[in-house]
Amino acid sequence: MIRILNVVGARPNFMKVAPIQRLMAVDSNNFDPILIHTGQHYDERMSQFFFNDLGLPEPDVFLGVGSGSHAEQTARIMIEFEKVCLQYKPDLVLVVGDVNSTAACSLVAGKLWIPVAHVEAGLRSFDRKMPEELNRLVTDALSDFLFVTESSGEENLRREGIDDSKIYMVGNCMIDSLAGFLEKAEQSAIMQQLGIRDGEFVLVTLHRPSNVDEPEPFQRIFSALAEIQKHLPVIFPIHPRTRKNIAGFGLENDVKNLKNLHLTEPLGYLDFIKLQRHCKFVLTDSGGLQEESTWMGIPCLTVRENTERPVTVTLGTNEIVGTDSAKIIDAANRILSGNWKKGEIPPLWDGHAAERIVKIFKNKIKDEG
């Protein structure tokens, strides 16, 4: 039996850990999974909604670290998580994705000689100005199990000198959740509530510091949205960081004046999936949405200069359009005129990634037992 601390911290972590936590919990002969929530995201809509929708149990431990500068947040997570490791003495710490909680907990575990498993290892944007890229590099360097979602991840890790024996191509746990909850999401009434119809709206999310912390890039994207909303209603569930910054830039009225641009509070998982599945296209700077839209065959415009998930471009429905207004509008027009690639689902994005991960741990227990 192995005791595993499964770590979640921020919104994009919950759907990746949920299938792993669930499989471990039902296999109590082999696993003692302890769910740790760092509290990096704490608003009800950024956290509790997801626990409810995904059927995640209440965390065994909540660290309540909250917001702060990167150093403050990372340090607070480390201080609190070290206490948890010393108390629970786990055999393994499992982290997912690339948020500050991921890197902070890996570093704590590594220094206590506790093996680390990283789900979604090996992704690289090659842009060290992204905080997530630094989190990915640190976490992968410290990990003993590197679970990879796409072939670029394997290549990147090999190039960085990570031993092949630690690298496992398992597929995508976020897609496990998506595949598993798609039917339930269909029952969401969010489209009626918003008064929108199948295929006749655009879904937008923006929260990357590089897009929303400075007025210029945000203005450029906003100009494109002003044009797009002339053709179709635009639904924009707004991240707390983005809302705060729009107010700070003095752009609240400009946003309100666009009659076909609808800002909503951050949505729960099921409502959001429903919108993503039925929109005309997604415009986003998120990592996860690039993958989810590819899996559902929905066109995706990524308003960034790069992606750490290149398979969504080479195989999927994603295009990297940057933040130039004219380029965004051109790409949107191509979608609206039906001129877009159909895309394919990447290998092993089949809803069974968590099963593969759990099996790898089980084999390890057998080998060592």
The Cβ of residue 189 has, within 10 Å, a number of other Cβ atoms equal to 9
Footprint of ligand UD1 on 87-116 (CB under 6 A)? 98-100
DSSP state of 164: G
CB of 158 to ligand UD1, least distance (A): 25
Pattern of binders to ligand UD1 over 48-77, x per CB under 6 A?
-------------------x----------
- Rounded CA separation 343/317 (Å): 5
Number of residues that bind ligand UD1 (CB under 6 A): 19
Q: Check the CA dihedral 311-337-332-232 and report its sign.
A: negative
Burial class (CB in 10 A: 0-12, 13-18, 19+), 67: middle
Quick one: 75 or 336, whose CB is closer to ligand UD1? 75
CB of 262 to ligand UD1, least distance (A): 20
Q: Is 40 in the site for ligand UD1 (CB under 6 A)?
A: yes
Distances (CA, A) of 189 to 138, 178, 193, 268: 41, 18, 6, 12
Q: Is 21 in the site for ligand UD1 (CB under 6 A)?
A: no
Q: Is 42 in the site for ligand UD1 (CB under 6 A)?
A: yes
The strand pairing partners of 93, in sequence order, are 5, 116
Which residue from 328, 337, 340, 334 is spatially nearest to 227, judged by alpha carbons? 328
CB of 353 to ligand UD1, least distance (A): 20
Q: Is 12 in the site for ligand UD1 (CB under 6 A)?
A: yes
Q: Is 205 in the site for ligand UD1 (CB under 6 A)?
A: no
One-letter identity of residue 60:
D
CB of 326 to ligand UD1, least distance (A): 27
Q: Is 241 in the site for ligand UD1 (CB under 6 A)?
A: yes
Quick one: 71 or 189, whose CB is closer to ligand UD1? 71
Q: Is 139 in the site for ligand UD1 (CB under 6 A)?
A: no
DSSP state of 347: T
Cβ atoms of 103 and 134 closer than 8 Å: yes
- Rounded CA separation 359/143 (Å): 18
- Rounded CA separation 337/19 (Å): 38
Q: Is 11 in the site for ligand UD1 (CB under 6 A)?
A: yes
- Rounded CA separation 160/158 (Å): 5
Span near ligand UD1 by CB under 6 A; candidates 6-14, 25-33, 112-120, 180-188: 6-14
CB of 119 to ligand UD1, least distance (A): 15
Quick one: which of 53, 132, 292, 319 contacts ligand UD1 (CB under 6 A)?
132
Active site members: 207
Kindly list the residues in this chain that would bind ligand UD1 in the complex (CB under 6 A): 10-12, 40-43, 46, 67, 98-100, 131-132, 207, 239-241, 244
